[in-house]
Structure 1
Amino acid sequence: MKHILLALIIIIVLFEGIGELVAQQIDFYNLEEEQLYNPDKKYNTWSVTAGFGPVVYYTDVNDYALFPSSHWRFGPSFLVSKQFGRPWSVDAQFLTADLYGEKNTRYFSGNFYDLSLNLNVSINQLVLFGPIRDRLNIYGKIGLGVNYFRARQRSLSTGNWITVGEVHSGTPGYPRPYGWAETDYLAIGYDRQNPEEITDRRSEVVVPIGLGIDYRLNKSFDVGFELTLRNLTQDNLDVNLTGADNDSYMAALFTLTYKIGKKNKRHSLWTYKDFNLAYERERQKQPFGRELDSLRQRLDYLAANDSSVTDTTLIYNEIVEQRYVLVASVFFGFDKTEITSEAHRTIAIVAQFMKEDESRKVIVQGYCDERGSDDYNVKLSQRRCDAVVDVLVKDYGIDRSRFETEPVGENELLSNTKELAPNGVHMVNRRVDIFQKIEE
C-alpha cells in the first residue's frame, strides 16, 4: 500500500504545474468552425500510440521505496484507441519489460507482458469543455487486464538458483508456500527442478490506474507522457510467494500518437463543446421557444422573397435629412461570419435591387448578441458587414463604393435576452441589416 501512495504523490506533483495553464483557457468567442464539436458531423476517432520508458517494480524483494538506485528496467508499449465524443475513449494496451529486484542476499529477474483494456476520460473536456490552449489534454485512465510473466530467484553472492527451503525454512516467519517442496527452486514460468528450462508463463489479473498528458503537434500527431500504476491481484511477481502486499509496478512512458483518418479533419478529442448548439437543441424542447423560432423562420422567408420596403426610419441631423429603407436582413450563427445558403438567397435579392438602379447606395449595419466583450463584438459585427459586402462585390460585381458599413456590436439588441430570460431570441441579434440610403 505504501508504494501505491508514494506513486500517487508523484502523479500529483507531476501534474500540479498544469494549474496555471488551465487558468489560461482559450477564448470560446474566437473559435473556428472546425474546433467546435457537432455530434452530427464526422471526426477522426481512431489513433495508435507507441510509448517507451522506465518500469519500476514494487515487490517484497527490492531495496527501495520509490525509485531504484540502479538496475533500471525500460520497456515499450503500444495502444490502439477509439474516441467516443469529446471526453471518453477506450484503448487496448500492450506493455512489456524485463523484471528485476534485489534485497539482502538475493534477487529476482525475468520478464513480463501485459494486455489491458482501459477507459480514459479527458479531465479538461469535462471541466473546461475543450483542450487547454488548443494544445494540451490531461486524462485519467483505469482498466483491467492480464499480466503474463516468468521469474526466478538467485543468490547475489554466488549467482546460484535459490530453493524454497533456503528462504522459507531457514528464515523465521516464512512458512513454506502451499504445494511447493523444500527442494523446489523459486521459479515461475521455469521448471522448478531445472530453472534453465522454460515453461508456460504465469498469468495474473492487473488493474492499471493513472494519469497522462498529450500535446497536439498537428492534426496527425501528438506527443505525451503517461504514468500508470499497475496493480496485481496476487503476490507472485518476485517469486517471494508469501509477501504482505500484492505486487505492483509503475510504467512512466513517453508517447507518440498518430491519429488515424482524413488529414483535413480534427480528432474529436481536440474539439470544444458548442454552447450555441447545446442551447439551440435545448430550445427545441421548449414549446414557446419553438414558436419563436418558427416565427423567425417565417420572417426570414418573407425577407428573402420580398424586396419591397418592410420598414422606414427617419434620421435627422443639423445638415442633411436621411431616410433609411430596410431592404433585407442576413442572420448568422453564434460567433460566425460565414454566409449560409439561406443568407445567399437573401443577398441575391439585394443584388437584384441594387442592379435595377445603379444610383442606389446602401448602409450595411452589423449586430451581435450580448455574449462576448464589447470590443470583440464590435469587431465581429464589422467582419459580418465585410462578409456581406464581399459577396455583393465579388459574386455580383457591384461597385464597393456603393456600400457603407456600420459595426454596431451588441449596443442595439432587437431581442433583449438578458431582460427576457429565459426567453428571448439570440438569433435575431446576430444579423446584418441592409438599408437603402436616400438623401433629401
Structure 2
Amino acid sequence: MKRILPLMMLLLAGGPLVYAQIDFSSLEEEQIYRPDRKYNTWSLTVGYGPVVYYTDVVDYTLLPSSSFKFGPTAQLSKQLGRSWAVEGSFLMADMYGQKYRRYFEGDLLQTTVNVKAYINQLIFNGPMRDRWNVYATIGLGANFFRSAMREQGSEQLLMVDDIFGGVSGYPTSYSDWAPDDFLVEGYRRNGYSEVNPELEETSRESSVVVPMGLGVRYRINKSFDLGMDVVLHNMTTDDLDVDISGAANDSYMSAAFSLTYKIGKKDKRHASWTYKDFNMAYERERLRDPLAQRLDSLRQHLDQLAAEGDSAVSDTTYINKEQIIRHGSFSAAVFFDFDKSEISRRSHLALAGVARYMMDHPEARFQIQGYTDDRGSEDYNQRLSERRCRAVLDVLVNDYGIDAGRLQVEPRGEKELLSDTRKLAPRGVHLVNRRVDIIELSR
C-alpha cells in the first residue's frame, strides 16, 4: 500500500479545489434523488493506461524509469442509490521487470467484482459543482497469467539451478521443481531439446487478487463522463515474476484514463449524479421526534374539528368569523413542507373553509400572499413563493369553482419573516415562514 499511497494522494489533491458548496435550494427537480423516481443506473466504462509491477524482479520502488507496460480496462457498473455501485471489471496487460541481470516478461488477464463508494455523495451529499465525482473501490477476483524469466543480454531462459544451484540453505518455494526446470509459469517447464526453445503454452496460472483504488469522474453531459482510476491489485501468491523466493506476495498498479457511457434514456440523469433529498431527511427526523408527532396530531385534530362545523371549536370559529365580517376581513393560512409547493391534506381542509366563506359572500375578494423561510437564495425563494401562491389559486379555482377574478396573487419570498430564525436562533420556527396567507380585501 505504501507504493500507491502517494499517487492516491495526488489523485485526490484536486478534490477540495474543485469543491464548492452547492446551493441546494436552487437545484432542479431532476437533480434531487427520490427513491420513487426512475434514474439511469447502468454504465459501461472503457479505459487505457500504464500497469506497474511490484515483484521481486524489479529495480524500482514506485515507478520504473523505462519499459512501461500498458493495458486496456473495462467495467460494467450497476448503481445502487446515490452513493454505492457494484461493478464487474476486466483488465489485461503485458508484464515486464528486471533486476540482477535477469528479467521476466509475460501477460495477464484479470476479472474482479468490485464495490464502489462515492466519497462526495457520503460527505458532501452530491456531486462537486455538479461536475465531479470521487470514489473508492474494493473488490475480489482472479488473475490468470503467463510469465518467463530470462537472462539479460543473451535472452536465454533461466533454470532453477541457474539461480539457486550454487546457494546452500537459501529458502525457496520451488519444492516441486526440478533443478533443470525452466523458470516459467503457464508454459511447459521442461522436455525441450534446445537450450532456448519456443515455449509451449499450458493452462494459465491463477491467483486470487484483491483490488483497492480511487478514481475521479468528470461529467460531460447526461450520457458521457471522463475519468481516471488508480488501483492497486494485491495478489495472494508470489509467483507473478516466477521468482517465488520473496517474503511478500506480488502486486501491481494500474492507472487508466477512461470514458464512461451511462446506459439509459437520454433525458434522465444517472443516479450517481443526483443530490440528497433533504426534505425526506427532514420528514424522517420529524417521524423520530415525539414532540413533532404530537404537534402534527394536534394540528390535524383541530383541522378536522373545524371542518365538521358542529363542535365547540367550530362555534368559536363562527363567533370569530362574525367579528371578522363586521370588520370587513377574513383570513386563513396554508403551511408547506420544506422546499415544497404541493397542497397537503390538512391544507385542503383550510382551503375548503376559505371556499365556503367565498361562496357565502360572493362579493368578497381575496389576496393570496406567499412566503418562504430564509434558507436558499433570494431569487429561488421568490420563485418558490410564487409556486405556492399558484398552487393555492389552482385549488380554489379548479377544485371549488371560485372565480379567479376574485383572487390576487402576491408572492413575497423570504420577506417579512413571521419568525426570524436567525435573530431568534435556536428557537426560531421555520415552519411558520413556509406559508400562504389568504386575506380578504376591504370592502
Alignment TM-score, normalising by the size of structure 2 = 0.81
Distance 1:128 1:400, change over 3 A: farther
8 Å CA contact 1:360, 1:402 repeated in 2: no
Change (3 A) 1:251 1:6: same
C-alpha spacing 1:408/1:107, structure 2 compared with 1 (3 Å): closer
2:195 maps to what in 1? none
- Partners in 2 of 1:220 and 1:346 — Cα distance? 46
Aligned partners of 2:86, 2:160: CA distance in 1, in Å?
Answer: 42
Separation of aligned partners in 1, 2:125 and 2:308: 40
Write the letter of the residue equivalent to 2:367: I
Could you give the per-residue CA deviations for residues 243-291 of structure 1, whole angstroms, max 9, x where no partner exists?
2432111111122223334444333322222222122123223343223
Q: Distance in 2 between matches of 1:299 and 1:415?
A: 26
For residue 181 of structure 1, report the CA deviation from its aligned partner.
1.4
Aligned twin of 2:371: 367
Which of 7, 10, 27 pairs up with 2:7?
A: 10
Quick check: 48-57 or 282-291, which moved more? 282-291
Whether 2:24 is the aligned partner of 1:21: answer no
Is contact 2:303-2:349 (8 Å) kept?
A: no
Query: Contact 2:105–2:149 (CA<8 Å) still a contact in 1?
Result: yes
Letter in 2 for 1:83: Q
The letter for the 2-side match of 1:20 is L
Question: Which secondary structure state, in structure 2, belongs to the residue aligned with residue 237 of structure 1?
Answer: coil
Q: Give how far 1:211 is off.
A: 0.5
Amino acid of the structure 2 residue aligned with 1:249: Y
Identify the residue that residue 156 of structure 1 maps to in structure 2: 152
Secondary structure at 1:26's aligned position in 2? coil
Give the CA RMSD over aligned residues: 3.9
**1:381 equivalent in alignment to 2:385:** yes
Is 2:165 aligned against 1:169?
yes
**Displacement of 1:170:** 4.6
Are 2:66 and 1:70 equivalent residues in the alignment? yes
Equivalent residues, number: 428
Larger CA deviation: 127-136 vs 407-416:
407-416
Q: Does 1:255 align with 2:258?
A: yes
Note the alpha carbon deviations across 1:374-411, whole angstroms, 9 max, x for none. Answer: 67545543453356558889998966796251505263
Partner in structure 2 of residue 318 of structure 1: none
Please report how far the alpha carbon of residue 198 of structure 1 lies from its aligned counterpart in structure 2 after TM superposition.
0.4
Change (3 A) 1:51 1:351: farther
Match of 1:269 in 2: 272
Relative to structure 1, the CA distance from residue 373 to residue 33 in structure 2 (aligned partners, 3 Å threshold; closer, same or farther) is closer
| Larger proportion of strand | 1
Letter in 2 for 1:142: I
Match of 1:409 in 2: 414
Aligned counterparts of 1:151 and 1:343: Cα–Cα separation in 2: 74
- Give the fraction of aligned pairs with identical amino acids, expressed as a percent: 50
Aligned to 1:150, the other structure's residue is in SS state strand
SS in 2 for 1:5: coil
On the 8 A contact 1:190/1:200 being kept in 2, the answer is yes
Of stretches 391-400 and 32-41 in structure 1, the one that deviates more from structure 2 is 391-400
Residue 39 (structure 1) shift = 3.3
Match of 2:213 in 1: 210
How far 1:171 sits from its partner (Å)? 6.4
Question: How far apart, CA to CA, are the structure 2 residues paired with 1:184 and 1:149?
Answer: 19
Question: Partners in 2 of 1:252 and 1:400 — Cα distance?
Answer: 66
Structure 1 residues 263 and 340 mapped into 2: Cα distance closer, same or farther (>3 Å)? farther
User: Partner of 1:37: helix, strand, or coil?
Assistant: coil
State the SS of the aligned residue for 2:441. strand
In the other structure, the counterpart of 1:438 is 442
Distance 2:418 2:323 in 1: 19
Return the alpha-carbon distance in structure 2 between the equivalents of residues 342 and 50 of structure 1.
52
